[in-house]
Amino acid sequence: MKKRLKYLSIVILLLVMVTGCGIKDPKTQLSDAIEKVNSAKSFNIKMDGNLSLAAQGAEVKGSVNISGDVNIENDEPSAHYTGNISIPLLGGDQQLEGYVKTKDGKVYTYSKTDGDWTVEEEEYKKEDFSIDQIKETLDKAKSIEKVDSDKKGYTKLVVTVSNSDINNAMNSVSDGELSSAQLTDDFKFNVYLKKGYLSIIEIDLTDMLSKLMSTETSNSSDTSASAKITIELSNFNKVDKITVPSDVENNAKSNTTSNFLD
């Protein structure tokens, strides 16, 4: 009998070792996935957003679609992006295109507006080309929970940020002007991991936007809002070196307005 119990104990120990070894908690999984993206030499990023607003009978609908390639190599990152902003009420679609070039400690951002190219020069800051901002959110997360994934081949995490942290962030950005629009519920968003990389971020801002709109109108029943953003990262370490076309570089006019990095 003792011999059988001994064998059973060994089997249980082996099972614990096999099933437990290498298993990471969700927060560690996400942290490692972010670091793996930061360590990649290149990747592709795609963003899709849809926005719909209605207040007292006036409705504004719009969408944002941006795709791009980012190359991180030898502290001289480069990028190329294209996109489309569609707001029918303001005259339809606007096409976007731009390049980012880093050289000798400077970042040159080339943007195409109404057919003309402009360029803006800034000091190079490595953090502008990282996704460490997500790490800051991770550190403040109230909880990170692994749930059943609705996308095959992906690990799904639900990140919850406390309403107080969101309210503080909104007040900081608006210099206190949104103090009346305090959220009472915690904020959640979905994160998907694939092959160890942070791959998809899904953010639904509908509730937050509705709350903001209701504070600006006397009758909250006259307001409605919908806003969803999806960011997808892929093609890790497979993007070729990006160069700015010579005609763009030679003909771009100096510009001091905000750029794509913002």
Q: Rounded to whole angstroms, how far apart are CA atoms 121 and 257?
A: 10
Is 161 part of a structural domain of the chain? yes
Whether this model's pTM surpasses 0.75 = yes
Confidence band of 89 (pLDDT split at 50, 70, 90)? low
Is 199 part of a structural domain of the chain? yes
Q: Rounded to whole angstroms, how far apart are CA atoms 32 and 233?
A: 15
Check pLDDT > 80 for residue 252: yes
Alpha carbon 27 to its chain's center: 17
Confidence band of 126 (pLDDT split at 50, 70, 90)? confident
Is 261 part of a structural domain of the chain? no
Is 18 part of a structural domain of the chain? no
Q: pLDDT tens digits, residue range 183-241?
A: 667 888 899 999 999 999 998 888 777 766 665 555 555 667 788 889 999 999 999 88
Is 2 part of a structural domain of the chain? no
Is 106 part of a structural domain of the chain? yes
Q: Which of 36, 53, 26, 56 is nearest to 220 (CA)?
A: 56
User: 70, exposed or middle or buried, with CB in 10 Å at 0-12, 13-18, 19+?
Assistant: buried
For the chain, give the mean pLDDT: 77
Is 225 part of a structural domain of the chain? yes
Task: Give me the pLDDT at residue 154, please.
Answer: 96
Check pLDDT > 60 for residue 176: no
Greatest mean pLDDT among 10-14, 109-113, 117-121, 226-230 lies in 117-121
Phi, psi of 232, deg, nearest 5: -125, 130
Is 56 part of a structural domain of the chain? yes
Q: What is the CATH number of the domain that holds 38?
A: 2.50.20
As for how many domains the chain has, the answer is: 1
Q: Which one is predicted more confidently, 90 or 95?
A: 95
Task: Give me the pLDDT at residue 141, please.
Answer: 83
Residue numbers of the domain that contains 219: 30-254
Check pLDDT > 70 for residue 76: yes
Encoded amino acid at 138, one letter: L
Task: Give me the pLDDT at residue 174, please.
Answer: 52
